[in-house]
Structure 1
Amino acid sequence: MHSVKVGSFAILISKQLAVTRSSSRAQYYVPLICEQIASICVNLRRTTTTSSQPVVIRIPRRMQEQIENIKQMQSKKFDRLPTAKPGRLLIKSKNPQQNQSVAYTLGKFEQPVLTSKGWKRNEALGDYFTINSTQSAPPFMGKQEGVGDDRASPLKTFDCFNISPELVESLQSQKIIHPTTVQMQTIPKILKGRNVLCAAETGSGKTLAYLLPIIHKLQAEKQEEQITDSVRKIHAVVVIPSRELAEQVASVARSIGQRFGLVVKVAGGGRGVGNIKAAFSHGQPDVLVATPGALLKALWKRFVSLSELNFLVIDEADTMFDVSFAGMLENILSHAQVASRLSETVGLTRKAQLIVVGATFPRGVGEVLSKVTDLGSMVTVKSQMLHYIMPHVKQTFLRVKGADKILELHQALKKAEQEHKGVLVFCNSASTVNWLGYLLDEMGVGHMRLQGEMPGAMREGIFRNFQRGNVDVLICTDIASRGLDTQRVGLVVNYDFPESHTDYIHRAGRVGRAGGAGGGEVLSFVTHPWDVELVQRIETAARRRMPLPGMESEIQKPSHKTDLKINEQKVH
């Protein structure tokens, strides 16, 4: 009876060894199995007191050799059990088991373990994860090739474009020495007269990428033609969605074009027709920066003409081609003669170069532009990191109850105050901006508020005070998330989580900008179930090192059905 039990157990042991010897866990299971064999042997010896012959237990020799080999292997490696490799973390979670190191790469069919997976349940309140910065310099600042070896070469300067030396000196006086990657790619194409679509991440220097070649070409023509104020015509128009952005772009244009005598003016909304007319009372500017509504009013009142336009720039394309602006933009484009090929941008009868700039693009871009130019004539400049989670900015997501957000915000502001950082606090509505401002007043936190229901002149003054450092905390809506220069900002707080990937990209893009100091941080409060869904897509993109889903980066050609609709409208 004993021999049957032992034989059966030996068969079981051999089967388990066959399964586990190819497994990385064999070194843990085999000693346990050996202990079980020894235990049975002891019990058998104790139960054989009435038998005159000893019980013989035979274990196959090959099994004995396998056991001995694995035991020896275990004795050598027991002190260094397989653990995660030390190093920097890409994702740091409250639960260390959900961390992901920078060195780890997910397989194509491997499903990431998301920290935010169960965040729709109340049990997840207080959970958090951080997407750490993996590099110190912004990816759009370019690289110094061969750093640390004999192949090292210095970063290029603006002299490489063969532009006016005075223009380079003007940039150097503002401590702008090295062009960014998007500027290296875009400026030569505009100088050659090409229509350009520039798609690059926020803060990568897109404004200077189009202003610099435009001002270079205008000052060269001005020297040749000796234009006087009485015959000056508008040669460049920049269409931009808000008055704050228009003032900012105009300021950059003036700073680099003032020594050439170029006149730059702004036509912004919110001031009425009288103020728009006053902008042209002393003659036409060389460069006009305008919001769509103000430019249309100026065209209707014949304050301006776009007949001799050399450059037409559409900045912040994701907003300008949205349904709220698309109709006005089509009307503006119909007043300008846009070139459809390179040969049309030179000579006395030349047409306007079209430059479209943005960090994201809605689906209707191709349908609008195809009505005024050949889409095949447009050269696309696209950043390699477009729509990726910014690798030089630390981004933290905190699952929190709505009632606790004000306390978390107060703690974040206290920390930022100690580090002397400028802070942008984003809300989804003007009413939340005002309500949050009252609470911070009661807490004694100095701040300013910026939202779309304020008069244009007031908004302009508030943002200028923030840029100058008169106040460190600005509570705002998404009106401050598009294109505004926020180099002094070190912390962005999403008090209300943004409603789309596009909004998140633009808000997070207020830190880590070209010319800014350091990468900065983004802190996001996650409250609602629909917030969680968006966070899960962001976390998945970060863990897979993939761009955010559903973002447009190309001009999509209109479909055949769209062409038929356009032709039918023309017939009727």
Structure 2
Amino acid sequence: TSMADDREQRMKPETDKTVEGSSSEDENSLVNSGENEVVKTFKDLGVTEVLCEACDQLGWKSPTKIQIEAIPVALQGKDVIGLAETGSGKTGAFALPILQSLLASPQRLHTLVLTPTRELAFQISEQFEALGSSIGVKCAVIVGGIDMMSQSLVLAKKPHIVIATPGRLIDHLENTKGFSLRALKFLVMDEADRILNMDFETEVDKILKVIPRERRTFLFSATMTKKVQKLQRAALKDPVKCAVSTKYSTVDKLQQYYIFIPSKYKDCYLVSILNELAGNSFIIFCSTCNNAQRVALLLRNLGITAIPLHGQMSQNKRLGALNKFKSKSRSVLLATDVASRGLDIPHVDCVINYDIPTHSKDYIHRVGRTARAGRSGKSITFVTQYDVELFQRIETLIGKKLPAFPTQEEEVMMLVERVSEAQRFARLEMKEQGEKRKRPKGGDGDEDDTEQSSGVRKKVKGGSGGGGGGKKRGGGAWRGGR
């Protein structure tokens, strides 16, 4: 599976590394316990034979740091707080102990995993099923954007593991007859900082009220925020803290650059970089759905196989987009931050921040998409005249001064004419889609998200490109500048 590449040999040179017996609240109070000299196997951690074989089949040769820290603690029956970034192998860190407990005493509705986003829920389910395939584990993914009725039928079959976003789970707890989590043994909250940042606090409180007190809880979070500490006190009993990330680290193998450009030439610089680094895979981050859609259309008009992934796309579209990118039939993914965290994208060569992130922490998560699993990668951040202050904040946060990415201004300026032509077509397409959306229900013309319209039309021509674009502004908001 593609997850195998995403995982192992992920021995990033990180500094903090601890297991603490107390739920000490401050990240700085973590003890440095040096490196583990001996490379451990999953067997050394206490994982049973059948699950070790499953790891082997997934190509997980040796456990990652968070797994070395968390698995033994979890197998001793303790609650765990894992401070780990996406891509540190944390899914395995909670999935293996849970599957092992399920093997020891099989029961239905054994585990609930809460995640902030739909995509992450599907990924976690994939991993549980891959690891538990030989022992017949059944998972149900319960997220928004999918029909409640069909989900109720899945829940009626009583799967072993339910992976859910908080909002949709509450819908089922309140409305689906016969569905309850009263016998639950394990609760996992993955990316807890994001669950809480997305204002799911009331939902999480409701869920905590309807599951047994006598349960085991694993809480994973990239950062230890005040909200997460509060949740930890409410939900966990004497947890052991396993941390494998420095507070805000970006990997050493990641080459980070910035480009200072006038905002009206962003598109030209983008096209120039994509041409220069052709053959690599890219994720380009935009701040709005509208912009992600527009830039995707623009690039397609120039014959670059780009695919958007944003909040206005239906669930199937998002998963489809993600799979096309994973299978390498598209080399450029245009994403918003909603789509950015916790996505299991095996490896990206280059991350481009087309729009600078307004929250510096999002920068860490965005660039964390590349240079994973010990490989090297690049990130390039576009800084316009309006972004200087935000950019300085990012540099302060990561404690590095970033070098400028070398570009040839004359060459970029030669693209202006072609790019502005493509901008015009992208605008028209956005407008058409906007109008289609306003029409009475019926033909779903704008939904053929990526297929016919994408990399195929090398010639500049308006087609029916991506779905979910200019809802409010019909694309007309793009006049040269921003």
Is the pair's TM-score, using the shorter chain for normalization, greater than 0.5? Answer: yes
C-alpha displacement of 1:451: 0.6
Amino acid at match of 1:435: R
Q: Does 1:525 align with 2:382?
A: yes
Select the residue among 268, 271, 281 that pairs with 1:410.
271
Amino acid in the other structure paired with 2:223 = T
Structure 1 segment 151-230 matched on structure 2, within 5 A: 155-222=39-106
| Residue in 2 that maps onto 1:256 | 131
In the TM superposition, structure 1's runs of 4+ consecutive aligned residues that sit over 4 Å from their partners are 140-143, 541-545
Equivalent residue letter for 1:366? Q
Q: Distance in 1 between matches of 2:37 and 2:300?
A: 53
Instruction: Give the corresponding residue for 1:483.
Output: 342
Give the deviation of 1:512 after TM superposition. Answer: 2.2
Any conservation in 2 of the 1:142–1:181 contact (CA below 8 Å)?
A: no
- Kindly provide the amino acid, as one letter, of the partner of residue 167 in structure 2: G
Aligned to 2:332: 473
CA contact (8 A) 1:306 1:335 kept: yes
What is the aligned length?
Answer: 374
CA deviation vs aligned residue, 1:275-301 (integer Å, no higher than 9, x gap) = 2213224x1011111111221122112
Match of 1:356 among 207, 211, 219: 219
| Aligned position for 2:210 | 335
Counterpart residue number, 1:77: none
Is residue 317–residue 361 contact of structure 1 (8 Å, CA) maintained in 2? no
Out of 442, 446, 464, the residue aligned to residue 305 of structure 2 is: 446
Matches within 5 A, 1:280-359: 280-281=155-156, 283-300=157-174, 301-322=176-197, 324-338=199-213, 351-359=214-222
Q: Give the Cα separation in 1 of the matches to 2:323 and 2:252.
A: 29
Per-residue CA deviation, residues 69-95 of structure 1 (Å, 9 max, x unaligned), is: xxxxxxxxxxxxxxxxxxxxxxxxxxx
| 1:544/1:484 CA distance change after superposition, 3 Å | closer
**What is aligned with 1:394?**
255
Matched residue of 1:161: which SS? coil
**Identity over aligned pairs, percent:** 32
Q: Distance in 2 between matches of 1:170 and 1:439?
A: 44
The 3 A distance-change label for structure 1 pair 380 and 180 is: same
- C-alpha distance in structure 2 between counterparts of 1:184 and 1:386, whole Å: 19
Distance 1:307 1:469 in 2: 43
- Where do 5+ consecutive residues of structure 2 fail to align? 1-9, 18-35, 402-482
Alignment of 1:494 with 2:350, yes or no, is no
Contact 2:217 2:235 in 1 (8 A): no
- The 3-state SS of whatever aligns with 2:127 is helix
Matched, 1:381 2:242: yes
User: Which SS does the other structure have where 1:254 is aligned?
Assistant: helix
State yes or no: 1:370 paired with 2:227: no
Q: CA deviation at 1:441?
A: 2.1
Contact 2:254 2:376 in 1 (8 A): yes
Question: Aligned with 1:279: secondary structure?
Answer: helix
Confirm or deny that 1:512 pairs with 2:371: yes
Aligned in 2, Cα 1:429/1:521: closer, same or farther, shift over 3 Å?
A: same
Work out the CA distance in 2 between the residues paired with 1:303 and 1:510: 41
Cα deviation for residue 524 of structure 1 reads 0.6
Distance in 1 separating the partners of 2:53 and 2:79: 27
**Hey, what's the Cα distance between the residues in 2 that align with 1:527 and 1:428?**
14
Please tell me whether the aligned partners of residues 397 and 524 of structure 1 are also in contact (alpha carbons under 8 angstroms).
yes
Q: CA deviation at 1:352?
A: 1.2
Q: Which amino acid aligns with 2:181?
A: L
Deviation string for 1:398-425 (max 9, x for gaps)? 11111121122112212332xx322111
1:422 corresponds in structure 2 to 281
Contact 2:138–2:161 at 8 Å: present in 1 too? yes
Q: Secondary structure at the match of 1:211?
A: helix
The gaps in structure 1 that reach 5 residues or longer are 1-135, 144-151, 223-231, 339-350, 546-572
Letter in 2 for 1:165: E
Q: Distance in 1 between matches of 2:124 and 2:146?
A: 19
On the 8 A contact 2:11/2:64 being kept in 1, the answer is no
User: What is the CA deviation profile of residues 218-257 of structure 1, one whole-angstrom value per residue up to 9, with x for unaligned ones?
Assistant: 11223xxxxxxxxx52011101111111111000000010
Secondary structure, counterpart of 2:390 in structure 1: helix
Which amino acid in 1 is paired with 2:351?
A: V
CA apart distance, 1:274: 1.0
Q: Deviations over 1:470-512 (max 9, x none)?
A: 2111111112321111222111111000111221111111112
Deviations 1:343-371 (A, max 9, x none): xxxxxxxx211111111243222334434
Which amino acid is 1:405 matched to? K
8 A contact 1:397–1:526 mirrored in 2 = yes
Residues of 2 paired with 1:435 and 1:318: CA distance? Answer: 30
The Cα of 1:458 is off from its aligned counterpart by: 1.3
Q: Which structure would you say has the larger Rg? A: 1
SS in structure 1 of the partner of residue 152 of structure 2: helix
Tell me if the contact between 1:156 and 1:178 (Cα under 8 Å) persists in the aligned partners.
Answer: yes
**CA-based RMSD:** 2.4
Distance (Å, rounded) in 1 between the aligned partners of 2:179 and 2:232: 22
Name the residue aligned to 1:459: 318
Residue 116 of structure 2 is aligned with which of 208, 232, 241? 241
Alpha carbons 1:141, 1:181 under 8 Å: kept: no
Amino acid of the residue matched to residue 271 of structure 1?
I
SS at match of 1:355: strand
Q: 1:413 to 1:221 in 2, by over 3 A?
A: same
- Cα distance in 1 for residues equivalent to 2:48 and 2:110: 19
TM-score using structure 2 length = 0.73
Deviation by residue 1:155-187 (Cα, 9 ceiling, x = unmatched): 222111121112111111121111111111111
- CA shift in 2, pair 1:521/1:186, >3 Å: same
Instruction: Tell me: CA distance 1:452–1:361, structure 2 relative to 1, closer, same or farther (3 Å).
Output: farther
Tell me the distance in 2 between the aligned counterparts of 1:371 and 1:142: 26
The more displaced of 329-338 and 312-321 is 329-338
List per-residue Cα deviations over 1:532-559 (Å, max 9, x = no partner): 22322333455579xxxxxxxxxxxxxx
Aligned to 2:394: 538
Shift of 1:268: 1.5
- Secondary structure (helix, strand or coil) at the match of 1:489 reads coil
When residues 306 and 367 of structure 1 are mapped into structure 2, their CA distance, relative to the original with a 3 A threshold, is: same
State the secondary structure of the residue aligned to 1:366.
helix
For 2:81 and 2:38, the matched residues in 1 are separated by: 29
